[in-house]
């Protein structure tokens, strides 16, 4: 039945809901959190660590034969496991630490190198985005489809911008300049998992970013593809989860947006002569 969640999805949902209770409580007391720096402008909070521990405990209890790849604790779990969890316990940490109510929990299940199920949970807005391979994508119980917009001049595009300690593609500012000239708007909201979920929901028409990690994108990539969308690397490669970049869009806008990005890098027709962007 459409919208009926499997046992695998329910395991992920229970883990996310357990972690969310702690995160929502701490979000209400964000000024009192103990925060340590992982690197320039890249923070980890006590809430982040507690959420990951809660998720790992719940998932290990339900599927002890799975391995895991998690943002804070890295790889672990059952040795030689065919399946593993890929987890970001708090995607949008900087938003969280500044009291901005736009962050999420992302959990994906990978078997034999393929993402077979994933969820992106936004507890503040009470939105659960979920998908299983071959079964479609949903938000709560509503079926998702990517947008039907066919022209860039009416498209709303999401992106991730470089910041201190985090570089982007060498031509990012040139890319942004060219994209802004062609579309209805560009947004940078600070949670790649939610950006991808919003592409799946048709709220954004496309999204591109560099330097993401598998835990940022694994669940979201499945959401987009199961909602009928297009996902690749910016340069056209087919490994967006483990590659160096990601481009997600509906079926009509992926190719023209990629051509704009290629133009900015000097690899497409009418390539930009703008100087290379320097981020940092």
Domain ranges of the chain: 7-143, 152-264
Q: Is 152 helix (H, G, I), strand (E, B) or coil?
A: helix
pLDDT tens per residue, range 28-58: 888 777 787 776 656 788 889 999 999 999 9
Please state which of the ranges 2-16, 103-117, 160-174, 214-228 shows the lowest mean pLDDT.
160-174
Rounded to an integer, the average pLDDT of 141-149 is 97
pTM of the model: 0.90
User: Which of the four CATH numbers 3.40.50.970, 3.30.540.10, 3.40.50.10860, 3.30.450.40 does domain 7-143 have?
Assistant: 3.30.540.10
Q: Please give the CATH topology (third level) of the domain spanning 152-264.
A: D-Maltodextrin-Binding Protein; domain 2 (3.40.190)
Under DSSP, the state recorded for 163 is B
Alpha helices (H) along the chain:
7-27, 46-62, 93-97, 172-180, 192-200, 214-226, 254-264
pLDDT, tens digit (0-9, with 9 covering 90-100), for 54-97: 999 999 999 999 999 998 888 887 778 999 999 999 999 999 99
């Amino acid at each position: 039945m459409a919208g009926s969640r499997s046992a695998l999805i329910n395991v992920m949902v229970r883990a996310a809901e357990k972690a969310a209770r702690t995160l929502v409580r701490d979000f209400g007391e964000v000024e009192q959190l103990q925060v340590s720096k992982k690197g320039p402008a890249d923070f980890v909070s006590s809430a982040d660590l507690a959420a990951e521990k809660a998720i790992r405990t719940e998932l290990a209890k339900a599927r002890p034969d799975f391995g895991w790849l998690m943002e804070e604790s890295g790889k672990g779990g059952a040795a030689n496991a065919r399946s593993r969890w890929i987890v970001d316990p708090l995607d949008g940490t900087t938003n969280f630490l500044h009291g901005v109510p736009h962050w999420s929990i992302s959990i994906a299940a990978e078997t034999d190198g393929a993402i077979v199920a994933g969820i992106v949970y936004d507890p503040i807005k009470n939105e659960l985005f979920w998908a299983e391979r071959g079964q479609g994508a949903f938000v709560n119980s509503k079926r998702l489809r990517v947008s039907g917009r066919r022209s860039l001049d009416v498209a709303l595009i999401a992106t991730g911008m470089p910041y201190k300690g985090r570089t982007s593609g060498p031509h990012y500012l040139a890319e942004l300049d060219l994209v802004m000239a062609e579309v209805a708007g560009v947004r940078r909201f600070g949670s790649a998992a939610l950006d991808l979920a919003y592409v799946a929901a048709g709220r954004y028409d496309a999204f591109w970013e560099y330097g993401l990690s598998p835990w940022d994108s694994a669940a979201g990539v499945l959401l987009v593809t199961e909602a009928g969308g297009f996902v690749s690397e910016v340069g056209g490669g087919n490994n967006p989860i483990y590659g160096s970049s990601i481009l997600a869009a509906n079926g009509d806008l992926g190719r023209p947006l990629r051509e704009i990005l290629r133009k900015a890098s000097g690899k497409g027709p009418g390539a930009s002569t703008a100087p290379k962007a320097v981020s940092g």
